[in-house]
Structure 1
């Protein structure tokens, strides 16, 4: 699947993957990635809504999503959407809510195809930030920190 758009964000660039009728994915890309104009009506709307969120964390997304994943992953992704902006849950707390394990919740968080909109950044380790998108490097954690701080403003 080719990117339908690449937009600037305070932490780099966001790649948008969608069909004509559903958002499939959002990618975190390096800051030096070339921005590209949206191709298609839905790609334009995704870009508009992401920009609205980046400008105002209180913005509510209303986009058609296609979430390809296991039943467990979809259950975790749905539960993440219930975490209010500005708040976090630990992997263990979210696992307890849905009858799962912290490790399985962490795996589902890392496999989230639509970060930001499906707010995996709101799930943290009981001892700190935890990882982000199956990464624990400074770049990934800087994005997670930015998103959490943005939602607390």
Structure 2
């Protein structure tokens, strides 16, 4: 049986290449089963949503070229409960804020690679996960970043 984690943003599953998570699946199970990786995925996601985990340790293998990989590493560097703007990341990576927005939308492992922590200069910005902005707000509130939303 494949793993599905119930969460405040709906059911979540994952795909894997056999050794690492390659994609978060919204609304249903992916190909990750109840083996060691699946058990770890379920434990870490449940602990995160329970407020007991700030940093995931699951092995991740997101697809993407060199820029996307650099961008995903920049997302992983944003601490739990903190945010950055599209402009902040654009400056750090020497690209346009639009490129950052597109890279956020292409993040295959949302939540684990925290694109929800990236905001527009004057608001929330977008969110490509199921549930859109409501899911982003839920994740930011979970991490105690809700004060930034007011």
- TM-score range with shorter-chain normalisation? 0.7 to 0.9
Q: Which residue of 2 aligns with 1:25?
A: 23
Normalized per residue, which structure has more strand?
Answer: 1
Q: Distance in 1 between matches of 2:8 and 2:43?
A: 15
- Give runs of aligned pairs for residues 99-138 of structure 1, distance below 5 A: 99-133=94-128
Q: Which residue of 2 aligns with 1:6?
A: 4
SS of residue paired to 2:98? helix
Q: Which residue of 2 aligns with 1:39?
A: 34
Q: Distance in 2 between matches of 1:129 and 1:87?
A: 13
Q: Distance in 1 between matches of 2:111 and 2:134?
A: 14
For the aligned residue pairs, the C-alpha RMSD in angstroms reads 2.3
Q: Which residue of 1 aligns with 2:148?
A: none
**Distance change (3 Å), C-alpha of 1:57 and 1:83:** farther
The 8 Å contact of residues 6 and 38 in structure 1, kept in 2 or not, is answered as: no
Q: Distance in 1 between matches of 2:81 and 2:18?
A: 32
Q: Structure 1, unaligned stretches of length 5 or more? A: none
Q: TM-score, normalised by structure 2?
A: 0.86
The 8 Å contact of residues 110 and 129 in structure 2, kept in 1 or not, is answered as: no
- Which stretch of the first structure deviates more once superposed, 126-135 or 63-72? 126-135
The 8 Å contact of residues 124 and 130 in structure 1, kept in 2 or not, is answered as: yes
Match of 1:88 among 80, 83, 90: 83
Report the Cα offset of residue 134 of structure 1: 7.4
SS of residue paired to 1:26? strand
**Distance change (3 Å), C-alpha of 1:97 and 1:142:** same
Q: Which residue of 2 aligns with 1:73?
A: 68
Q: Distance in 2 between matches of 1:49 and 1:119?
A: 14
Matched residues, number: 144
SS of residue paired to 2:48? helix
Q: Distance in 2 between matches of 1:66 and 1:92?
A: 26
